[in-house]
Amino acid sequence: MSKGIRDRVAVIGMGCTRFAEHWDKSVDDLLVDAAYDAFEDAGIEPTDIEAAWLGTMASGYAGFTLAGPLKTQYIPVTRVENLCATGSEAFRNACYAVASGVYDIVLAIGVEKLKDSGYSGLTRPQPPSDGTAPNITAPASFSFLAPAYFKKYGLDPEQGKGVLSRIAWKNHYNGSLNPKAQFRNEVPIEQIKKSPMVAAPLGIMDCSGVADGAAAAIIVRSEDAHKYRKDPMYVKALSIAAGPGDGRIRQDFDFTSIQENVASSTAAYKEAGITNPREEIDMAEVHDCFTPTELVIYEDLGFSERGEGWKDVLDGAFELEGRLPVNPDGGLKSFGHPIGASGLRMLYEMYLQFQGRAGQRQLDNPKIGLTHNLGGTPWQCVSFVSIVGKEKSD
């Protein structure tokens, strides 16, 4: 019988670059910066690493892009890729390799350098040639969630826009407290509401940006973690669900829920032994690529009842002082979204918060955190959920 990852591996070091427009740095520079930040944090030498997983969607290939700059000496380096969930896959596969007992200490690292890549934001790198599946921009594909949600739950457009803007406002406010965030400015809610339209009803302020960056984690088995530090982060669940679609919008897709999110969170809660996520989870980093995505995620992951997420937003439930702070680091919206790095950046925030190192945005002693990372379109995606903890369960 499968037994889950439950507390069997731990993170003993993490690193992250600032997410930004790094015109003056190469992909290799970003990898070195994040990796050495993690090595230093863990108190290890680069040569201590026995194997590595590199997550990148388009800023490299194979293990070469990592073995060169890090000067690793004939260790395994595996590239993994799962669109915007790529960084989480690097972490997940690295955790399994350690849990298997094959390696004692490994590196998971993610990178993307998008600003100079010509990245178009199209949802399908290889659009089907038969024209049956839409090849539209990411903002357009996620924009569909907003009017569908508003209609289903009786919000008029003005109300709906207010809810979305409040989500963007929250993430910008949180990012303003984060020295590593791409956008470190608070933005008034009225300015968010009036931001130039990108894909109605989404304005530019409803959208995460395009950024460069890298993030890294050092993973060991839990029984070894205290050799490295007194305050490791424990991994309680890792779940990925890939939707069975073919790129077409499914006939039964209702645009107010993403089935992949439901599947991955349900599996993760089971793996971690969580029965009431609203009560048991103290903080979360979720995939707020666009504001309606975050709104739907609240309900898909059980942070809000169905149809109640928008009320919880207006009540401040997910703000730093709320009952379940979401995206305390600023999220994709404000921290930035260099694709291969984002999943690891989310874990980085959990790690800092558990250790009381989150500065002005520090929460009050959080013990259980969740990260949620999504790749694809609402109607066909991969959804990743991790549950991490400050302490080992009994």
- Residues of this chain that interact with a second copy (CB under 8 A) are 1-5, 8, 50, 60-64, 66-69, 71-83, 85, 89, 92-93, 95-97, 99-104, 125-126, 238-247, 259-260, 263-264, 375-376, 380, 382
Distance of alpha carbon 155 from alpha carbon 295, whole angstroms: 13
Contact 115/21 with Cβ under 8 angstroms?
Answer: yes
Cβ 217 to a second copy, closest distance in Å? 17
Considering beta carbons, is residue 23 or 74 the nearer one to a second copy?
A: 74
Considering beta carbons, is residue 88 or 182 the nearer one to a second copy?
A: 88
Rounded to 5 degrees, φ, ψ at 294 are: -60, -40
Considering beta carbons, is residue 106 or 145 the nearer one to a second copy?
A: 106
Considering beta carbons, is residue 164 or 238 the nearer one to a second copy?
A: 238
Q: Are strands 202-203 and 380-389 parallel, antiparallel or unpaired?
A: unpaired
Cβ 341 to a second copy, closest distance in Å? 17
> What token pair was written down for 155?
């919000």
Contact 181/336 with Cβ under 8 angstroms?
Answer: yes
Cβ 393 to a second copy, closest distance in Å? 17
User: What is the helix (H) or strand (E) element at residue 183, kind and residue range?
Assistant: none
CA-based nearest residue to 328, from 176, 186, 195: 176
Cβ 158 to a second copy, closest distance in Å? 36
> Bridge-partner residues for 175, per DSSP?
none
> What token pair was written down for 348?
């980085």
Strands, sheet with 233-242, edge to edge from the N-terminal-most edge strand:
51-55, 105-113, 212-221, 9-16, 233-242, 380-389, 368-377, 283-285
Query: What is the three-state SS of 186-240?
Result: CCCHHHHHCCCEEECCEEHHHECCCCEEEEEEEEEEHHHHCCCCCCCEEEEEEEE
Catalytic residue ranges: 84, 337
Considering beta carbons, is residue 120 or 360 the nearer one to a second copy?
A: 120
Sign of the alpha-carbon dihedral angle for 178, 182, 187, 192: negative
Considering beta carbons, is residue 122 or 198 the nearer one to a second copy?
A: 122
Per DSSP (E only), the strands in 166-229 are 197-199, 202-203, 212-221
Cβ 104 to a second copy, closest distance in Å? 5
- Residue 179 neighbours by CB distance under 10 Å: 8
Cβ 239 to a second copy, closest distance in Å? 7
